[in-house]
Amino acid sequence: MMTVLNCVYHQHNPWLVLAAAVVCIISSWGVIRLHGRARDREGLQRVVWNFLTAILAGSAIWSTHFIALLGFDAGVPVEVDPALTVLSLLVAMVGTSVGFWVTTLGSQRLSPALGGAIVGLAIVAMHYSGMIAYRAKGIISWDWPYVYASILLSVTISAWALHVASCKAGKHAITFASALLVLAIVLLHFTGMTAFRVEPLMIDASVSNPVALQALGFAVAGVAFLIGCAGLASYLIDDGVRADSYRELQKMAMSDGLTGLANRRGFQERLEQEIQIANATGSSFALVGIDLDRFKEINDLRGHAAGDAVLRVLSHRMAATLSSSEFAGRVGGDEFAAIHRMESQASLMDFVGRLEAILNAPIDFDEYHVLPGASIGVAIYPDNAADKATLINNADLAMYRAKADVSRAVCFYQSSMDETVRQRRSLANDLREALERDELTIHYQVQTVISSGEIIGYEALLRWEHPVRGFIPPTEFIGIAEENGLILQLGEWVLRTACMKAATWEPPYKISVNISAVQFAYTNLPDVIAAILKESGLVPERLELELTETTIFADKDRALRILRQIKDLGVNVALDDFGTGYSSLDTLRSFPFDKIKLDRSFIIELESSPQAKAIIRAVLALGRSLSIPVLAEGIETEGQLALLKKEGCDEAQGYLLGRPAALEHILASGQIAIMDRSARASLVPASPAEKIAAGREESKQLADAGSLAERGWSIRRR
């Protein structure tokens, strides 16, 4: 080793040696980096990166050798063969290309070391082919132990370098591998040059121009430096592109593609940051949960394009109103969430007010006004929760409370909500089991003609007698059924059961069944009704469906289209709770209802309030002008009944006329009898031959129906 160092110090130009060292270090670091890119790629990209690696490696090895060679003082005149010099460059590039390609064969554990050994052989081949191009005027001889040592050092250290680079052992692996590659190139050159011996044949050195050779060496060093920088620049550019791509992918992963707001993952990450800030500073912030009220109806009526447009508009409006201390994201299909760092209670109320205004403002779509509406729940950290999961849960509880309460769109979390939610969840499970175990029943409340007392039909009312809690009113469990998706199954059971029972009645009274807003939103409700009518054998004209104005108002165009499909089946449709909706007159104008049911809230004040009496008188006049009969609900006193009769009300229903009762009790009272099989079959003749017999039976039923109706009225009066 000392001999090698002496050779370096005494026989080489130190400035060219320094230039060769700089080129070698920069280029080797770039080679290892580019090789890493090639190893991480597949297909054509790997081929391209391997090509760039080979170009830079060949240039680095050849330049280091050639620069140092030009700075070598052989003591005799020298010349350089251009063709052989270029050939040595090609040898370096081709040899290193093969070596780096073998290194990237990941199927073999020894591939990196084997490829590194080939790179070492390429360094050896380049050096000694370059020495053939070095023409010294003297007798050349070689010290073969140094030659063998140079080969061994080059192959061994190169294999070690690429093994380290491929294993990525530790954060300094790239630097260590680069240093090993530099060492392999340098030791090969100077050990090989130590083995080089020249005996002068002539003393005159005029043929050789040392200054020109040194100038050429510096020129080559400059070009090699530029090549190394170009290789390094390609790596840095790719690194920058990869960083940009990573940031873009991260942004895409954290953002909602439709709205541009943060998605669930992005919002969760921001929420964790806000919790850390609040813990560190002792501050608080509000988590706001948002659920759109009529998004499903918008999708069903206008299509998904309209739904997407609504989401985009709302998101843009939210983004435009957010300050630097506020954040919003889309965390579900029609669910949003927002964060507000609290400065005061007033700042929170201002933020919630802005959100409420945005979510309730109309949106124009294809010449239609869409009103999305939303339910908003608010929970405050750390006042309402000590961790992220609890905070999210509490905000959801508040939001669902707001959704269940039609009187308000914004609800703040309260600790009592936890117990309420647990009770509701327990009741929902019990309701599901009650439906499966056939624990639900239907009670029937009579409807009569006010002028004569004649029974015209019954309203089917669902009842639930809980085995532990006792009677649970429909006002409590119907909302739970709607929230938990049970209402469709429950509503269909009520409709089917009521129709099956009514089909056996004698006389054939009408049966009225309530349809909830959730049921009505079900797109194939008319098909369900038609199937039940066919299954039960009930004549369509005997079925009356009751809908509230709020059900229709949620999506008027769609509602009217569904109502017309139901009317086409022959089924009657009544407008329930009339007078308490949004636009009663417009609803009556848009669709010809078969009946108006006057809400009981007006009947309660009928005897004491002139205003209630005036409203009832106006509704009755409206019904007469539109030829729509009016039924008054909630009749509880003789005075109410007398006033309604005086004002010309058509029909009535209430506790005075008959409380809801099980069918067994009504049968026992004699108001209804069960029709036998032959009588039922005669109502729907199976063939023309049976029409005469069917007609006779129907005549008998009609005659009996009149006497039974009179008997039912007299029973009630007693």
- Please name the helix (run of DSSP H) or strand (run of DSSP E) that holds residue 505, with its range, or none: strand 505-506
How does residue 428 score in pLDDT terms, banded at 50, 70 and 90?
confident
Upper half-sphere CA count for residue 268 (Cβ side, 13 Å):
9
Q: Indicate the class that CATH gives domain 426-677.
A: alpha beta
* pLDDT beyond 80 at 407: no
Q: Indicate the class that CATH gives domain 264-414.
A: alpha beta
Q: What is the mean pLDDT of residues 495-506?
A: 95
Note the pLDDT tens digit of each residue in 77-97. Answer: 667 777 787 788 788 888 888
Nearest alpha-carbon partner for 632 in 443, 447, 444, 445: 447
How does residue 251 score in pLDDT terms, banded at 50, 70 and 90?
low
* pLDDT beyond 60 at 243: no
- pLDDT of res. 710: 37
Outline which parts of the chain fall under CATH 3.30.70.270. 264-414
User: Residue for token digits 């009220």?
Assistant: 293
- pLDDT of res. 100: 81
- pLDDT of res. 93: 81
Q: Provide the CA 318 distance to its chain's centre, in angstroms.
A: 18
Residue 101 φ/ψ, nearest 5 degrees:
-65, -45
Nearest alpha-carbon partner for 374 in 302, 314, 309, 444: 314
- pLDDT of res. 687: 35
- Please name the helix (run of DSSP H) or strand (run of DSSP E) that holds residue 396, with its range, or none: helix 388-404
- pLDDT of res. 163: 83
pTM: 0.50
More confident residue, 550 or 377: 377
- pLDDT of res. 709: 36
3-class secondary structure, 487: helix
User: Residue for token digits 């060292």?
Assistant: 21
* Angstrom distances, CA of residue 255 to CA of 259, 267, 370, 708: 8, 9, 26, 70
More confident residue, 641 or 220: 641
Residue 83: exposed, middle, or buried by beta-carbon count in 10 A (0-12, 13-18, 19+)? exposed
How does residue 326 score in pLDDT terms, banded at 50, 70 and 90?
very high
Lowest mean pLDDT among 133-142, 231-240, 382-391, 629-638: 231-240
Q: Pairing relation of β-strands 510-514 and 543-548?
A: parallel
- On whether the CB atoms of residues 389 and 408 are closer than 8 A, the answer is no
More confident residue, 671 or 521: 671
Sign of CA dihedral 270, 273, 277, 283: positive
* pLDDT beyond 90 at 559: no
Outline which parts of the chain fall under CATH 3.20.20.450. 426-677
* pLDDT beyond 70 at 114: yes
* pLDDT beyond 90 at 475: no
Strand partners for 513: 460, 545
Average pLDDT of the chain is 80
Upper half-sphere CA count for residue 591 (Cβ side, 13 Å):
27
Q: CB 152: neighbour CB atoms within 10 A? A: 15
* Angstrom distances, CA of residue 581 to CA of 67, 335, 438, 575, 586: 94, 27, 34, 10, 11
How does residue 246 score in pLDDT terms, banded at 50, 70 and 90?
low
Report which residue type is found at 283: S
* Angstrom distances, CA of residue 711 to CA of 455, 459, 715: 10, 20, 6
